[in-house]
Structure 1
């Protein structure tokens, strides 16, 4: 399976076309074309369906919302099709959000044109899918008069010419069961890639009401796996086409009553196996107060399979720890001590004055670790390419552009970036075309990664590469471990760059970053003099984040596990 999956784009196109075809068929109806205009188009209202408000505080930041409502038009949105799809209806529609059942026990901040606890949101056009249709955010908070057991529903309906809307409800409960997770133990001092982490999982109900059953969800990113299976658990993979979000997911259901103040833990720890390439991969878990009968909602949209093994149980904790032993989000990065080996290589070419030559530049990772950039969400790796004396760039890769200075563009140095994730055995090519304006024997241009004390770089000695034009063979090129030799379009030489894209790596394939570049397809930038890069040359921070830095942990915790 190819995680970058160029075929997936075709699949999405087919989905979009199939969806719109379904719309057309729905419009025609079973009675024939005579009633085409009378058949309504199906529209689904989706979003948050359950909200528990804690009496202990911490429900929602005043600047944030905790309920989202979305409109799903018929058909599917395809981000790879330009221009954006045409609307399926242009007569307008309205969404009514009715929160009157919350009156007296909750403060509600509604969007759009609101009168009291009812808001009406209007739109001019309806589009396929939900990406181009507006989302509506709601903030709900407790009041001084809120008490445990207060319950009400937010009802959302829609209306529009030729449209048939589903109704959506959001159940709001005050002081219900509120679960906190047992904090995960720190990574052992001697833990290395390939080892297995033992995770004792548990929860404490700090809410005001008992939980009628719970569901445990634990997940791991690409470099981690779960060697054991249990019969009351189900297993799936999520976001296979995006390695930043890709997770191996397990859902386990437990029946029973779990009262306020009670703490529980698994009958045995969960084993988390790390792969030899793992580096700052993410393991996380949480318990949810959902009965096994309601757990089906958590599996919606994913192909779960049943586990094969003994039953995983829960046992009460007689003396639950206080303080910060139980947390809202429980996750850990594993392992933190692995390394990768980034290697920059250049190329050589010969030519006369006026010739245009091709020179290959390549960035490789020799492992053993990958650069997941999971916490940073896909921060790119940057490096600079110095143009050799007497030459100028006529064509550069799409991911490279002249560096920016206070006086504008510096055409003598180019900044390139490679999107992450960057796999443990991956190579990417960045082919340049250079015009030899003046023959300078042995002219060199240095290719460099940022210089900083990177704790995850296993071999800094090969972090530099070189471009050599009309060389004698005696030039010193320290740090260059290979030769992505370049050919010429006007002089002598050989073609450069391997062009390897590693197209069939399954969940280990590159993907998930808008700054990604792969293989020979990088050279799409046209004349470099017409383009520029918005990235600063301070790429050291980018490599740090690519290794899995913690600068963005707080902002991304909610979606990690």
Structure 2
């Protein structure tokens, strides 16, 4: 067992590294003999005493992924082949002996398809190639699990060393702490009757499900295009969304001093306001608390592009008798859910002689007020169908359209990329050859079904009429 202060420093450094978002990498050395190679992997693992969700008996994912980093970056030759910069046998030794009685160690995914020889809590892996950079030098993963003997505050290390002729290895150490601070977030739901343009006053909070407390917390909040953070709390920093990036998100980070205890819940001294735009629909908001010393967090934020708030400060307030069922590992919600968009398809009425080719424009417009983002599906396109007027053949087809198939809804299926902004419009132009003149030859463009949140299904189709009667 190590002193509580040292445990807190270990966990805080782990969370601070996650807050930074990327590890610092030393510049590559000029190639020399022996070849300098470093072992890569996480510096620390906070091993939860809480069982992970999943199928009983199913192994969890490795918390530790190991690899090697060599000078330079991999560059394929003219044939597209990437060659190693070193060939020759070397060994990697992973020594987890100090985790005896602390955690169970699973080496089964270490070494990839080659595997590694295992003797108790020591694994030895033999390899014979090293590539430039990191991408092609994976060593595999290690899974750790708490056991009946594990207790909060138990601590150990995993030492990774390597050796081989013509190679100068820099080893790596992974610190493992059991039952450190484990912050679960309060679940959020859209308020009843909430509408686009309203402000969601989010009751954010966390419960420390770990066995140990900590000193200092950072709150990070994200919001997609239709969400913004209007307040400027004095202990928060803000990074607004790039207005030209429809997939961009606004970010706010708030730093809190003071200790928090294990097994205890905390909430903000005031709800965090999140404004919604008039076009907002199923926008995504997520948040998370991390155990990070406040002083270190402020230093990190001062180096970035965040704008410091100048209003009153938020505080953390202990929440007595909190229900553990109200907290989750990942907290996010989509709102508002009741806004509507109006997708409109229009066709044309044209006269054409037999054998002639005419251009037919199919118009698409979103009259709003909402955008159609489909953020959860990663911007998956939506599609509409086109039936050609009888007696015609398509000679040119828009790039985003393709022929239908046997039993399909129409002759052509056309795709519209999402997000579709609240005022989006687009034209799809078909070239049609008139093989036979038919009065009132009618085709159409149409959606095969009414989408959720469609506010005006009546204009979800448009007609294409060739040689209409009654026109002069």
Shorter chain as normaliser: what TM range? 0.7 to 0.9
Residue 456 in structure 1 maps to residue 450 in structure 2: no
Indicate conservation of the 8 Å contact 1:65/1:140, yes or no: no
- Classify 1:269/1:465 alpha carbon distance in 2 versus 1 (closer, same or farther; 3 Å): same
Q: Do the aligned residues in 1 keep the contact of 2:105 with 2:142 (CA within 8 Å)? A: no
Structure-2 change in CA distance of 1:297 and 1:311 (3 Å): closer
Say whether the 8 Å CA contact 1:349–1:358 is kept in structure 2. Answer: no
Structure 1 residues 149 and 134, CA gap change in structure 2 (3 angstroms): same
- Structure 1 residue runs of 5 or longer lacking an equivalent are 1-21, 28-36, 476-561
Paired with 2:166 and 2:356, the residues of 1 have a C-alpha distance of: 64
Matching residue of 1:341: 342
- Written as runs of structure 1 = structure 2, the 5 A alignment for 1:17-36 is 27=30
Q: In the alignment, which of 235, 252, 275 is matched to residue 232 of structure 1?
A: 235
Within 2, Cα distance between the matches of 1:173 and 1:289? 14
Instruction: Note the C-alpha offset of 1:198.
Output: 0.7
The question of whether the paired residues in 2 share the 8 Å contact of 1:238 and 1:302 is answered with no
- Displacement of 1:321 in angstroms is 1.9
In 2: Cα distance, 1:331 partner to 1:270 partner? 14
Q: Which has the larger radius of gyration?
A: 2
CA distance in 2, matches of 1:161, 1:239: 51
- Which SS does the other structure have where 2:411 is aligned? strand
Taking structure 1 as reference, are residues 271 and 359 closer, same or farther at Cα in structure 2, changes over 3 Å only?
same
Q: Quickly say closer, same or farther: Cα 1:176–1:124, change in 2 above 3 A.
A: same
Partner of 1:183: 187
- 1:359 touches 1:432 (CA, 8 Å); kept in 2? yes
Alignment of 1:78-477 (within 5 A): 87=82, 89=84, 91=86, 96=92, 98=94, 100=96, 101-104=98-101, 105-109=103-107, 110-111=109-110, 112=112, 113-116=115-118, 117-118=122-123, 120=125, 126=131, 130=135, 136-154=140-158, 169-184=173-188, 186-236=189-239, 243-244=246-247, 246-295=248-297, 303-317=305-319, 319-405=320-406, 413-452=411-450, 454-472=451-469
- Secondary structure of 1:324 counterpart: helix
TM-score, normalised relative to structure 1? 0.66
Instruction: Give the 3-state SS of the residue equivalent to 1:461 in structure 2.
Output: helix
How far did 1:91 drift?
Answer: 4.2
CA distance in 2, matches of 1:241, 1:76: 32
Q: Which runs of 5+ in 2 are unaligned?
A: 1-26
- In the alignment, the residues of structure 1 paired with residue 223 and residue 252 of structure 2 have an alpha-carbon distance, to the nearest angstrom, of 9
8 Å contact 2:38–2:170 — kept in the other structure? Answer: yes
Q: CA deviation at 1:239?
A: 9.2
Alpha-carbon contact 1:107-1:140 (below 8 Å) kept = yes
User: Are 2:85 and 2:132, in contact at CA under 8 Å, matched by a contact in 1?
Assistant: no
Q: In structure 2, do the counterparts of structure 1 residues 160 and 226 end up closer, same or farther at CA, with 3 Å as the change threshold?
A: farther
Question: Shift of residue 368 of structure 1?
Answer: 0.8
User: Which is further off, 334-343 or 355-364?
Assistant: 355-364
After superposition, the Cα gap between the structure-2 partners of 1:458 and 1:207, relative to the gap in structure 1 and judged at 3 Å, is same
Bigger fraction of residues in strand = 2
Q: 1:274 to 1:355 in 2, by over 3 A?
A: same
Q: Determine whether 1:56 maps to 2:60.
A: no
Contact 1:85 1:128 in 2 (8 A): no
Between the aligned partners of 1:44 and 1:301, the Cα distance in structure 2 is 28
How far apart, CA to CA, are the structure 2 residues paired with 1:242 and 1:95?
47
* RMSD after superposition: 4.1
Q: For this pair of structures, how many residues does the alignment match?
A: 432
| 1:138 positional shift | 3.8
